[in-house]
Amino acid sequence: MKTLALMSVLAVASAAAAEPAAPAGALCAQLLEARRLAESQGRLDFSVKVEVTGDSTDAMTPHVVIGSPYAVGRIHFTGHNTINDSTLRRVMTLRERDRFDVGKLRRSLARLNDTGFGEPLTLADVVVTPHADGVTADLTIPLRQRRRRWWSLSGPIIPGLGSYEASISSRLPAWGRGVVDASTYLVAFNLLGVARPLLGLLPFMSKAPPAMLALERPYLPGQGLLSGFALSPWLSPRATLAHYGRAQLGRGLRAKLDVETTEVLAVPVVGADRQAGELLVCEPPRSRWMWFRHGVVVAADLAIAAFVR
């Protein structure tokens, strides 16, 4: 399987190099696909430049260099004093001793961002340290933790046409592991007010308690069924179940409908008449169905909320 995949990477790169007069759009598509295949094989050393002959930017010849595959050595997390290390490792889809799949690393960072434990992370934040053996590399992921307590106020844009909510939340101190990892729980106090014109239109809102103290465990990738719930004496069993179902279904739909995002590929352009620092910027194509994906998630969320009635 590794040999076939390597041949696929080289075939795409060779196809790009074999078309010296390829238009920029077609060339970018080939180079992005070559990078995707190289990253899936753990080939961290991927570089490309484009040589332009003459005055026409349509006459471009790419030169692609693909390095050897790497495996993941150790994964280190820093800056997570109040978050259990085992909880963070459960979130990751890229594991130690796995092939260094950059696509899995992107998905892992997206899942870490979804937890809300720290500030958003990108590939540029991750430190990759290759070993002297040339086949393994360590990862260092700096988690910039957010404050343990926060509050929020929200209300409708037009007064009287929506709900008003105030909440204050605090994360519990670090203790335990797995489902009893206290740092993954929040104690939240919420105040809810609903404008009377909406009570007839949204009857399920009228059943929501005006004030509520709850112990919440937000949805955690890697611990899906053991997270996404809220416990409170103010919530009926049906409301508790609806809250849990909304968290599970919402995250499940997002996992199925979300499209993996990739970075822009900036390719240096060289040639006798080209300026130093000139780049060919290749942007990954965007899904035409993104609006539909988001609409499905919002519709499912509203449908489950109506179940609270």
CA dihedral (287, 290, 293, 294) in degrees, to 10, reads 160
Shared domain check, 132 and 60: no
- Among the candidates 142, 157, 184, a domain finishes at 142
d(CA 171, CA 184): 7
Token pair for 106: 């992107």
d(CA 46, CA 67): 6
Q: What is the pLDDT of residue 206?
A: 46
* CB contact at 8 A, 41 and 293: no
Shared domain check, 136 and 94: yes
Shared domain check, 137 and 95: yes
CATH number at residue 90: 3.10.20.310
Number of domains in the chain: 3
* Report field, pTM of the whole predicted structure over 0.95: no
Shared domain check, 57 and 79: no
Shared domain check, 89 and 17: no
Shared domain check, 8 and 45: yes
- Among the candidates 108, 142, 176, a domain finishes at 142
Domain annotation covers residue 109 = yes
Shared domain check, 178 and 113: no
Q: Can you give the residue range of the structural domain that contains 271?
A: 2-67+262-282
Shared domain check, 137 and 207: no
Q: What is the pLDDT of residue 35?
A: 93
**β-bridge partners, 163:** 194
Q: What is the pLDDT of residue 263?
A: 82
Token pair for 218: 């937000």
Shared domain check, 89 and 36: no
Give the mean pLDDT per block of 10 residues along the chain (309 residues): 46 52 76 92 91 70 90 93 87 94 92 88 93 94 78 60 70 81 87 52 51 86 89 86 81 66 85 79 77 68 57
Token pair for 290: 């993104």
Query: Which of 145, 152, 231 is closest to 186 using CA atoms?
Result: 231
| Helix (H/G/I), strand (E/B), else coil: 73 | strand
User: In the chain, what is the straight-line distance between the N-terminal and C-terminal CA atoms, in Å?
Assistant: 53
Cα-Cα-Cα-Cα dihedral sign, residues 192, 186, 105, 223: negative
